[in-house]
Structure 1
Amino acid sequence: MTNEPPNPPIPHLILIAAALADTNGIGKNNDLPWHIPSEMRYFNAVTTWLGRRVGNAYPDKTQGDTHVEDGQKPLNAVIMGRRTWDSMPDGFRPLKGRVNVVLTGSEDVRVEVCSRSTPETPTLAFPTLPEALTYLTTTTRPTNTFIIGGSHIYILALAHPSCSHVLLTRVKAPAPIECDTFFPEVDMAVFRKAREEELREVVGPMVPVGVQRERGLEYEFGMFVRR
């Protein structure tokens, strides 16, 4: 028997993505295959301003919208792969007002990513998802931790036991849209589709429910919750 302290709790992971309803396609040539401004505003609002912690990753800290630490409200974190980082226009990376975490095996890329870090937008890079989660748990302690792509990172995170929610926008197009990157299938034995009121409880009451239409596309915000 040892007196070693228990491992610190890993933050709940929230996957957020928009995918074609028929194929689960999410990208083409390292870019989005569509442009839906309202869906992008939803992504930015949720990942930036969702201030109520989803899950109780840090039971020793106050919960709720008024949670503060060292006099400042903690930021949310977004975790992405290198290709997702590279796909962002240079002027938009890192994503402002969030802890940006890039997973890459390249030391040169990690140095370049970290060189963009500021106190307002910490920008970090790690070789693996477990290393990133350990750092976030012990040091940054974000309010919420979002997985934002790409496909391989989604697969890793979806299989992780700390993945508690999947925010998935389903997109329908009048004609087939070719994709070369896909969102993984959500295992319905592990997750269940949330009701509209549950989605609003998590992301806020202003999210539109039901089918939306914009730029010739139909889309609908949805959520899956771990059983």
Structure 2
Amino acid sequence: MKKNLLLMVGFIFFCVMAGATSIYNIQYTNSRGADNSYPSPYLGKQVTVEGIVTAVNFNGEGYFLSEPVSGAWRGIYVLDTEHKPKRGNYLQISGEVAEYFGMTCIRNLNSYRVLDQHRSLPTPVIISTNQLTNPLDAEAYEGVYVRLVNVSVSSIKSKNGKFMVNDGSGPCSVSLGNFGTKTNLPALGTQFLQISGIVTFSYGEYTLNPVSSEDLQIQQPVYIQTRSWGSIKSLYK
């Protein structure tokens, strides 16, 4: 009897998994679409997906899911104000694929299940600032948890928490405060060891959105004592 029960559970699990669509398949496209927003090939269709919650409370309207191993095309936005998952929750959801201001999302959920909790977040994908400037490259990272390294603030875009950073390959946009954490704008020329966050698209622009203040790590100075005259110099590497 116990063996039959285990077989039944395994069969149900297989059926559930067989009905799921990967985030990669929903996101992957090489077609710009009529409005150059690279719409999903699943646009308007009902899908079931599974993923780890990488960020919550995006502008108070939803959260982001990622496949366990992060990478290009492996993250997506869920437009959902009814449920309040936590980072690290592993979800299975069903809903409609849509475009939200040009960003692919899943909305109008008809099924929501927390399959696991306290999952480790996928390792952020390291990309260059230029990859968020070029639309064809940037589209692959829409909804994905990524990381920029060794960047400096090249300009301040607005008082609304937006600024530009550059690692030498070309500038890209960073936006603060979209996940509810208020952080002061950095000064022009500030150097960051790394900035992590979620890539979003709206109003024709791809932007990196840090989830918390911990996602911004300022490059710390190295203090060197010069023996010849005993003073301390501050050098930035």
**Higher Cα Rg, which structure:** 2
The TM-score by the shorter chain falls in which range?
under 0.3
Q: Which has the higher helix share?
A: 1
In the superposition, the TM-score normalised over structure 2's length comes to 0.22
Q: Which has the higher strand share?
A: 2
In the superposition, the TM-score normalised over structure 1's length comes to 0.23
